[in-house]
């Protein structure tokens, strides 16, 4: 399973990248706004900076909702850097645009996916990635990881090439369960990635080893 970081924060991207285990980055308009990025030029420059920091796919989301506008915006985003993946919402014009991007060699990430039916449509349109939002599903008392399992099974049995990118990750256990469910990618906040490191027996064991090592000096 590939690890992407789900943020537009450059310091957090750098910290995850320095671990040596980062495969890519996803952003969305809310994450970009959180960093105080304003205006077309600043948005484009920020995506370029991220692409120069991380050697892997970087999802940049369109802000348009009509076919023609999504295509125009997506072409501009894709021109920023070869690693840009155009993130398109799961709406009717979005599916049309994903098919257009597929036919024109532009990679896509179909976002705001909450059902297996939506994931089938995204795959049929040729999306590079599909992003089911598992945390938001859990928030409404459904099982987000179960949706990942269902989509992985459908894609395997149908031979769809779209990669299942588990999004809206809220904790380290989500990452473990997505790996078990066969997700191709997990896009996580830095806190969830770092949470994977934690175990009290590791801390206690290391403390003892260091203590014993001192006694040998």
Catalytic residues: 87
Within 10 angstroms of residue 29's Cβ, the number of other Cβ atoms is: 14
Sign of the Cα torsion 8, 22, 172, 155 reads positive
Within 10 angstroms of residue 2's Cβ, the number of other Cβ atoms is: 16
Q: Is 109 in the site for ligand G3P (CB under 6 A)?
A: no
Closest residue by beta carbon to ligand G3P: 168
Question: Nearest approach, Cβ of 168 to ligand G3P (angstroms)?
Answer: 3
The binding track of 132-161 with respect to ligand G3P, each residue x by CB under 6 A or -, is: -x-xx-------------------------
**Tokens, residue 168:** 């809206």
Contact yes or no for 98/125 (Cβ under 8 A): yes
Interface of this chain with ligand G3P, residues 179 to 208, rule: CB under 6 A: 187
When the beta carbons of 97 and 174 are compared against ligand G3P, the nearer one is 174
Q: Is 118 in the site for ligand G3P (CB under 6 A)?
A: no
Q: Is 6 in the site for ligand G3P (CB under 6 A)?
A: yes
CA dihedral 114, 120, 124, 125 (to 10 degrees): 0
Q: Is 26 in the site for ligand G3P (CB under 6 A)?
A: yes
**Tokens, residue 117:** 């039916």
Binding residue (CB under 6 A) for ligand G3P from 167, 175, 181, 185? 167
Residue 189 has φ and ψ, to the nearest 5°, of -70, 155
Within 10 angstroms of residue 216's Cβ, the number of other Cβ atoms is: 5
Question: Nearest approach, Cβ of 212 to ligand G3P (angstroms)?
Answer: 43
**Tokens, residue 100:** 């257009």
Q: Is 129 in the site for ligand G3P (CB under 6 A)?
A: no
Q: Is 114 in the site for ligand G3P (CB under 6 A)?
A: no
Rule CB under 6 A: which residues touch ligand G3P? 6, 26, 28, 133, 135-136, 167-168, 187
């Amino acid at each position: 399973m590939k690890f992407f970081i789900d943020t537009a924060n450059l310091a957090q991207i750098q910290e995850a990248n320095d671990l040596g285990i980062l495969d890519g980055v996803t952003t969305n308009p809310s994450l970009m706004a959180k960093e105080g990025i304003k205006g077309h030029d600043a948005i484009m420059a920020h995506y370029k900076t991220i692409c120069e920091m991380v050697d892997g796919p970087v999802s940049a989301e369109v802000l348009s909702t009509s076919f023609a506008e999504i295509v125009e915006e997506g072409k501009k985003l894709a021109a920023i850097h070869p690693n840009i993946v155009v993130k398109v919402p799961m709406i009717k014009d979005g599916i049309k645009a994903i098919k257009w991007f597929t036919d024109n060699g532009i990679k896509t990430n179909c976002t705001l996916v909450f059902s297996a039916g939506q994931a089938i449509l995204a795959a049929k349109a040729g999306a590079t990635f599909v992003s089911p939002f598992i945390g938001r599903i859990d928030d409404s008392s459904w099982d987000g990881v179960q949706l990942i399992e269902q989509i992985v099974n459908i894609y395997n049995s149908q031979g769809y090439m779209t990669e299942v990118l588990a999004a809206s990750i809220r904790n380290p256990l989500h990452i473990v369960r997505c790996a078990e469910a066969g997700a191709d990618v997990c896009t996580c906040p830095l806190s969830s990635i770092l949470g994977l490191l934690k175990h009290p027996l590791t801390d206690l064991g290391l403390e003892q080893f260091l203590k014993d090592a001192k006694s040998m000096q």
